[in-house]
Structure 1
Amino acid sequence: MGVIMEMNFNEDDKYLLAKKKVEKIKGFYGNLTSFILVNIILIFINLYTSPNHLWFYWPLMWWGFGVVIHGLKVFEVFPSFGKDWEEKKIKELMEKEKNNKNKWQ
Structure 2
Amino acid sequence: MEERDDKLLRAQERVKELKKFYNHLAVYLVIMVVLFFIDYSDGGSWWVHWPIIGWGIFVVLQGISVSKFGKGWEDKKIKEIMEKEEKE
Match of 2:24 among 22, 26, 31: 31
Find the structure with the greater CA-based Rg: 1
Q: Percent identity?
A: 30
> Matched residue pairs, number?
88
Match of 1:70 among 41, 53, 62: 62
Higher relative CO (Cα under 8 Å, sequence separation at least 6) belongs to 1
| 2:12 equivalent in structure 1 | 19
Instruction: Specify which structure has the higher proportion of helix.
Output: 2
Residue segments in structure 2 that go unaligned for 5+ positions in a row? none
Where in structure 1 do 4 or more consecutive aligned residues deviate above 3 Å?
Answer: 78-81, 88-95
TM superposition score normalised by structure 1: 0.69
TM superposition score normalised by structure 2: 0.80
| 1:45 equivalent in structure 2 | 38
